[in-house]
Amino acid sequence: MLNLLSFILLCLPQIIWCASYLDEKRLRDSLFLNYSKSIRPVLDLEYPVSILPYLHIYSVYGLDINSGNLITRARLSLYWKDEHLSWTPEDYGNITHLYINSNMVWTPNIVVCNSEEEANRKSDVVYEIRLNSDGNIVFLQTKILRTFCDINVYKYPFDSQECEVWLCVDIQDSWETRLEPFECILDLEYPNYQWDITVNCTEDTDNGTDLDTATLISLSRRFTFTSVATMLPVFVLTILTLFVFLLPPESGEKVSLATTVFLTNVVYLVEMDKVLNTNSRDMPLIVCFLIALTSLSGLSTVGSIIVSRLKVINEERAGQEQQEDDRFSLNFIKNKVTPISTIDVEQRHDLEQSFEKTTKIKVKRRVCCEHRWLDNALFVFSFGICIILSILFAYYSTNH
């Protein structure tokens, strides 16, 4: 019995003060009887309307480094007080808040300044806002933001980007509408596997006004399949550029390999330029590396042609010298003091073979010495250049 009595006593005030349709209609009629949404909602028009912005980022869909657009889904909340729209809840059936259309009250003209979607937004869009009994208004908008970022792909594919979401008052002056310090939160519904994302609320203090405020979104690229797919061809092309000089010219494929590697470097450089076709502040390190590697590959192609041509010239010259040495050897044998008829046939054959072998060894050494030194010199030079380029790329990619 005591418990039942306690329950009745607790519920009785709510039953007595339960709002009805007539209470809310009477409240709405009373609030908007002499209300004008074209006048700023302050009793003294010398004071500005303070707006508290709040940004809740739900999703980061991606960053297009070519166009410099960051695509996010966020809820923009605006809080301000309308001093003309307040009431005593006890006078209207204990109603503490109302939900009304945004076109019924004064709303601040606050936009995302660096979003191309805001420039094309419809002005007749009506949102539902919450009006509390003390005059505080909560204005919630869920938007797909396409904001512009200052792209810097200097360290691509190990780069970090910083993008800002700027809020500003479109028309009014700072003494009329003032933006309070930004509040923001990152609460991703789905993880982003390409970027590590952090947010930081900042204020614009350069212009000395209260018309701008921003959220800084920092993105650091993760080491993913894209990073591997970008760096692996560069590593392989560097090795192949060196292996051109390890292939002997006698194989007949030295020039073909050098030309193929050079054309592959050119194609990959062009494709990388398409991927990084952006207004970056600095030239990407990987593009600089590919330009140097392509130049080195072109040098190896020219060097391979020179080495192969030098080998052919030396072989032709060696053939002529060998013919002269053969004639000289026959004359040498015929002009011996001892008549050739007195020399045993086997001794004569051994003497000719020994002289011919000695002559071929000398010719072969002369030919090798005239083109292999250039091949070895080009290999040492290319190896040193590749080591220096790799060290510089690794250093500047991991340091500012």
pLDDT (tens digit, 9 = 90+) per residue, 266-281? 999 888 888 886 677 7
- 3-class secondary-structure state, position 94: coil
CA separation for the pair 161, 391 (Å, rounded): 24
Radius of gyration of the chain (CA): 42
Ramachandran quadrant class, 339 (left: phi over 0; alpha: psi -120 to 50; beta: rest): beta
pTM: 0.68
Indicate if the pLDDT at residue 51 is higher than 70: yes
Ramachandran quadrant class, 62 (left: phi over 0; alpha: psi -120 to 50; beta: rest): left
Between strands 195-203 and 136-148, the pairing is unpaired
- Helix or strand (DSSP H, E) at 37: none
| DSSP state at residue 66 | T
C-beta neighbour count of 387 within 10 angstroms = 11
Please report the pLDDT score of residue 356 as a whole number.
53
- 3-class secondary-structure state, position 145: strand
Between strands 160-169 and 212-221, the pairing is antiparallel
pLDDT (tens digit, 9 = 90+) per residue, 124-182? 677 889 999 998 999 988 888 888 888 888 888 888 888 888 887 877 666 788 888 77
Share of the chain above pLDDT 90, in %: 4
Q: How far is CA 170 from the centre of its chain?
A: 31
Q: For residues 300 and 208, which has the higher predicted lDDT (pLDDT)?
A: 300
Please report the pLDDT score of residue 349 as a whole number.
53
Whether omega before 157 lies within 30 degrees of 0, making that bond cis, reads: yes
Q: Encoding tokens for residue 117? A: 């979607």
Range with lowest mean pLDDT among 143-147, 197-201, 321-325, 329-333: 329-333
Please report the pLDDT score of residue 207 as a whole number.
46
Please report the pLDDT score of residue 189 as a whole number.
79
Domain 20-222, what architecture?
Answer: Distorted Sandwich (2.70)
pLDDT (tens digit, 9 = 90+) per residue, 65-110? 888 888 888 888 899 999 888 899 888 888 998 998 888 888 888 8
Spell out the residues 6+ positions from residue 356 whose beta carbon is closer than 8 angstroms to its own. 326, 329
Ramachandran quadrant class, 173 (left: phi over 0; alpha: psi -120 to 50; beta: rest): beta
Please count the residues of the chain: 400
Q: Encoding tokens for residue 65? A: 């480094």
Please report the pLDDT score of residue 132 as a whole number.
92
Domain coordinates in residue numbering, the chain: 20-222, 226-398
- Helix or strand (DSSP H, E) at 4: helix 2-16
Do residues 183 and 54 touch, judged by C-beta distance below 8 A? yes
Q: Which of 55, 167, 44 is nearest to 109 (CA)?
A: 167
pLDDT (tens digit, 9 = 90+) per residue, 202-249? 655 444 444 567 788 888 888 888 888 888 888 888 888 888 888 777
